[in-house]
Homo-oligomer: A and B are copies of this chain.
Amino acid sequence: MEHENINALMDKTEQWILPELENVFTPAESEDITVKAALYSLFAGGKRLRPLMMHLTSRMFGLSDDIDADVKYFAATLEMLHTYSLIHDDLPGLDNDDLRRGKPTCHKAYGEGIAVLAGDLLLNKAMERLLSICESKPGYIYAASAMAENAGIKGMLGGQSIDIASEEKEISLELLTELQEKKTGAFIEAAVVTPYYLSKKMRRDEFASDKTANDLRKLASHIGLAFQIKDDILDVTSDSKVLGKSTGKDERDSKATFVTLLGLDGAKARLDEEILSIKAILSGFEAEGFDTEDYVTLTDFLVNRDR
């Protein structure tokens, strides 16, 4: 397989996912103000990291074009879930952010009420898609069900809830790790494992004891933590123009991060550990004959990115 640098991989992901995202709503539905607000955020220039990871897992296992079309469908669905979580997280009652990816946040552009509904709509539509594809492909039910759980109290929403409950409180490194494994880690897990789930079409109990599935979940967990630790480091070392969002915000909000709990050097050391764990798991996959080079490229990007 031909390998590319991270920018080429990202461009390819954007080309791959864009037509899928453009067809989520019909032209008639796109006249609706809530749909417009949802599309505003969906096309606000995110890095599409989750679709990228899905693309990479697909390539690592050499999945067929047939499966790849469904991977793309699930990748767009996950991107919708991710976008809804950002719209609601930015609301005044939560993080109260005016700027996201260098543009006004959804509620700044469309008002608070419509932003609430736009988030609800993306969540609901994502779930409609998960159910809808299972009408014709019942073998995907576990993959769909697992993705929905990644968005719920065991995953992203559980992390958001810990986050809001610990505002302006001192929290332990253990609780911060749990918070982040849920808040950002759960969607990364969904990205990393879903293509494999789709290719195997197994039941829940079969996946529980599947070695590859367990290795993928561990890989996702380390990628998620590495990603978040790097985010926390960038919040104190980057400037908002490069980052496309407010910086120094964690400190102003007295928010516990890996940097506030471990110090900048401690956070960098922890990031190095996570990267070592990622590379160890990738070596294992390589030894089994899978092509991990793109995942190595992604890992290097996670460490070295400046936004």
Chain A positions near chain B (C-beta within 8 angstroms): 25, 29, 32-35, 88, 91-94, 107, 111-117, 119-121, 123-125, 127-128, 130-132, 134-135, 138, 141-142, 144-145, 148-149, 151-153, 157-158, 160-162, 164-165, 203-204
Pick the contact of A131 from B123, B145, B162 — CB < 8 Å? B145
Given contacts A112-B92, A161-B33, contact A151 B124 (CB under 8 A): yes
Chain B residues near A135 (CB, 8 Å)?
141-142, 145, 203-204
For A123, the chain B residues whose CB sits under 8 A away are 120, 123-124, 127
Q: Kindly state the separation between the CA atoms of A88 and B119 in the bound complex, as whole angstroms.
A: 11
Let me know if A117 and B88 touch, CB within 8 A.
yes
A113 to B97, CA, bound (A): 13
Identify A152's interface contact among B93, B124, B158, CB under 8 A: B124
Cβ of B93 and Cβ of A157 under 8 Å apart? no
> Which residue of B111, B124, B162 contacts A157 across the interface (Cβ within 8 Å)?
B124
Which of these, B94, B114, B148, contacts A124 with CB under 8 Å? B148
Report how many copies the assembly holds. Answer: 2
Asked if A115 and B131 make an inter-chain contact with CB atoms under 8 angstroms apart, the answer reads no
Q: Which residues of B contact A132 (CB under 8 A)?
A: 145
- A113 contacts which chain B residues (CB < 8 A)? 91, 93-94, 164
The 8 Å CB contact of A88, one of B35, B116, B152, B153, is B116
Collect the chain B residues with CB atoms within 8 Å of residue A152's CB.
Answer: 121, 124-125, 128
Q: Which residues of B contact A107 (CB under 8 A)?
A: 93
Q: State the CA gap A158–B114 with chains docked (Å).
A: 12
Across-interface contacts of A158 in B (CB, < 8 A):
32
Q: Are B148 and A141 in contact (CB under 8 A)?
A: no
Give the residue name and chain of the B residue nearest to A127 (CB). Answer: B127
Complex contacts, A127 vs chain B, CB 8 Å: 123-124, 127, 130-131, 148
Closest 3 CB pairs of A and B: A93-B112, A127-B127, A93-B113
Contact status A29-B153, CB under 8 Å? yes
Distance between Cα atoms of A193 and B70 in the complex (Å): 30
Cα–Cα, bound, A276→B173 (Å): 65
CB-based nearest B residue for A131: B145
CB distance from A77 to the nearest CB of B (A): 12
Given contacts A116-B88, A117-B88, contact A33 B141 (CB under 8 A): no
Which residue of chain B has its CB nearest to the CB of A157?
B121
The reply to whether B115 and A93 contact each other, CB–CB distance below 8 Å, is yes
Please name all residues of chain B whose beta carbon is closer than 8 Å to the beta carbon of A125 when the two chains form the complex: 152-153
Most B CB within 10 A of own CB, among A88, A115, A135, A204: A135
Tell me whether A33 and B138 are in contact in the complex, defined as CB-CB below 8 angstroms, given that A93-B111, A157-B121 are known contacts: no
Set of chain B residues within 8 Å of A112, measured between Cβ atoms: 91-93
Taking the closest CB of chain B, its distance from the CB of A229, in whole angstroms, is 24
* A161 in contact with B92 (CB, 8 Å): no
Question: Which residues of the partner chain B approach A116 to less than 8 Å between Cβ atoms?
Answer: 88, 91, 93-94, 116
